[in-house]
Amino acid sequence: MTLDGAMQLTTLMMGMAFIQQSLEHLRPAARPAERLLFVPRLMLSALLVGAALGLPIPPLWLLAMLLVNHMVILHFFAGPYNGGYDRMSLLILLCLTAAHAMPQHRELAFGYLGAQLTLSYFISGWVKVVNPAWRNGQALRDVFRFSAYPAGENIRGWAQHPRLLLAMGWAVMVFELAFPLALATRPTLILALVIAATFHGANACLFGLNRFFWIWLCAYPSILWLQERVVFPLLP
Amino acid sequence: MIIRLIQPVFKSLALVLPALIPSWRFFDAVSASPRLDYVLLAKQTDDSADWRPFRPRPERLTFPAMLRRMLWNAERNESLFLVSCSERLVQNPTAHSQSEILRRIARHLAPQADATPFLQVRLRFVLPDEDGALNSHVAYLSPVLAVKDLL
């Protein structure tokens, strides 16, 4: 995958993810001030999708305006609206803006996104595996039993299956910790990304974290490019 | 004067840095979980204790509904934001967190405000005790407020 192709694909996917979440903020139940912030975000994102599809619009200005809009939104909510989703959104936006603003350093800017994507899985696995409650399955049981995350009461019933949750918890930890190893070959990386996307899809279904699914997928082209650019030349 | 000028810059940096250098500590520990309840009142002096959970989860979430929520999940995402606001209200109380909770609940209940124009909100935290039974304690109780003042 070329750098231009990977950046174009990430730009297209991010624009579409921003359109999806902007529309959620434009429902009539939202406050007028909130809707006012997401109308420009929707329009800029639609233009960005157009630019990624080949319309003659310079993406740098759209990205810069989206960045300003994102900062205003962060101030409006006094922080992220949906935690890690907002952080990944802003990270992708910052990396793409930097890559377009500093063409001589664009490999560094876009590669940083790929590196952070790898870390997002590895560190998530590390903080779990060092916690005894995750190792003995109690933490995942608590997530289903009383945390605010299960999206339906029937999903809480999973807490009654401790062995299943213990196996699921270890499967998640092993996968997250082993993710950097998947960079060794193209087939293993593609398989790892398919598993990771399935994991995000399961989180979206069970916990209602739909935005995480879409935004993490947006960063996948960066790691596919980074593997070719950095990892393959290092391998014998 | 200088501090007033650079304060927004520091605030913006504080908001950007966690994205630029993320911690990625998802679900590292499961702590007490917030629940928001409300009571709608006909008069400001009513002392009804008819607390109801705000936006309870569906008893049964079907797979087709889960798939629909992949594309449209506005209420659920707002509820997750209110979880963040609830945690902020306890860990680092600000007028913003309190206002977001009250205003969003009031907007949700506005259609019922003709008959019951006053609202009170409480925030509980649920945690298992030593025997594993789930207990909750009230961490915040709002004053009784007119719904129309919160819209």
Mean pLDDT (whole number) for B45-51? 84
- Name, in order, each residue with C-beta under 8 angstroms of A117's C-beta and a sequence gap of 6 or more: A216, A219, A220, A222, A223
Say what the ipTM of the complex is. 0.93
C-alpha distance from B109 to closest chain A C-alpha (Å): 10
Domain ranges of chain B: 29-150
Q: Is A146 within 8 Å of B50 (Cβ atoms)?
A: no
Percent of chain A with pLDDT over 90: 94
Of A51-65, B16-30, B67-81, the poorest mean pLDDT is in B16-30
Confidence band, pLDDT 50/70/90 cuts, at residue B3: confident
Percent of chain A with pLDDT over 70: 100
Task: Compare B30 and B142 and report the one with higher pLDDT.
Answer: B142
User: B42 to chain A, minimum CA–CA distance in Å?
Assistant: 23
Dump pLDDT digits (tens) for A70-115.
Answer: 999 999 999 999 888 999 999 999 999 999 999 999 999 999 999 9
On whether the CB atoms of residues B106 and B150 are closer than 8 A, the answer is: yes
**Per-residue pLDDT at B8 exceeds 80:** no
B33 → closest Cβ in A127, A133, A148: A148
Is the pLDDT reported for residue A49 higher than 80? yes
The token duo for A88 is 């990944």
The pair of structure tokens assigned to B77 is: 């995402």
Tokens 């702590």 sit at which residue?
Answer: B31
Residue B9 confidence (pLDDT): 79
Q: What is the pLDDT of residue A153?
A: 92
Q: How far is A16 from chain B (nearest CA, A)?
A: 11
Residues 6+ apart with CB under 8 A from B71: A20, A210
Does pLDDT of A228 surpass 90? yes
Of A217 and B116, more confident: A217
List, for residues A113-127, the tens digit of each pLDDT value: 999 999 999 999 999
**Are the CB atoms for A194 and A91 separated by under 8 Å?**
no
Of B61, B73, B94, the CB nearest to A152: B61
Q: Which residues contact B17 (CB under 8 A, 6 or more apart)?
A: none
Q: What one-character DSSP code corresponds to residue B151?
A: -
Q: d(Cα B138, Cα B35) in Å, to the nearest integer? A: 9
Q: Report the 3 state secondary structure along A157-192.
A: HHHHCHHHHHHHHHHHHHHHHHHHHHHHCHHHHHHH
Q: Which of residues 161-200 of A touch B (CB under 8 A)?
A: none
What confidence score (pLDDT) does residue A190 get? 98
Residue count (chain B): 151
- How far is residue A229's CA from residue A223's CA, in Å, rounded to a whole number? 10
Band the pLDDT of A13: cuts 50, 70, 90: very high
Decide if B103 contacts A31 (C-beta within 8 A): yes
Mean pLDDT of chain A: 96
Whole-angstrom CA distances from B80 to A148, A154, B131 are 8, 18, 29
Q: Does A27 touch chain B (CB under 8 A)?
A: yes
- Does residue B10 surpass a pLDDT of 80? yes
**Does the structure show a pLDDT above 90 at B80?**
yes
**What is residue B115's predicted lDDT score, i.e. its pLDDT?**
86
Question: Between B100 and A232, where is the model more confident?
Answer: B100
pLDDT digits (tens, 9 = 90+) for A140-197: 999 999 999 999 999 999 999 999 999 999 999 999 999 999 999 999 999 999 999 9
Contacts with B127 (C-beta within 8 Å, 6 or more apart), sequence order = A146, B31, B32, B33, B134, B135, B136
Predicted confidence at residue B119, as pLDDT, reads: 95
Q: What is the pLDDT of residue A3?
A: 97
Higher pLDDT, B39 or B12: B39
Q: How far is A234 from chain B (nearest CA, A)?
A: 26
List of residues 6+ apart from A123 with CB closer than 8 A: B23, B24, B25
- For residue A225, the model assigns a pLDDT of 97
pLDDT at residue B151, as a whole number? 86
CB nearest to B19's CB, from A29, A94, A206:
A94
| CB-closest option in B63, B69, B97 to A210 | B69
